[in-house]
Amino acid sequence: MWRQLGINYVKYSQIAASATRKCVKKGAKKEVEKPARATVTITPWENGKPVKKDE
């Protein structure tokens, strides 16, 4: 569907998220507007192999 519109998937998902936020009931709106929590793990690499922290 998004390809037929001539947009990429990221733009399509942004539009869908915005439309969803606009449809949320007033009581739940504060919870929806909060940014999503993300967990990121950074692994250093040397010579094509991950380096362990305890080395």
Supply the DSSP string of 17-32, one letter for each residue: HHHHHHHS-GGGHHHH
pLDDT on residue 12? 93
pLDDT tens figures, 1-47: 778 889 999 999 999 988 888 888 777 777 777 777 788 888 899 99
| pLDDT: which is higher, 51 or 55 | 51
**CA dist list (Å): 33 to 21, 30, 36, 49:** 8, 5, 9, 40
Could you tell me the residue ranges of all domains in the chain? Answer: 2-50
How many whole angstroms separate alpha carbon 10 and alpha carbon 2? 10
pTM value is 0.47
pLDDT on residue 37? 78
**CA dist list (Å): 30 to 20, 33, 34, 35, 48:** 14, 5, 7, 10, 45
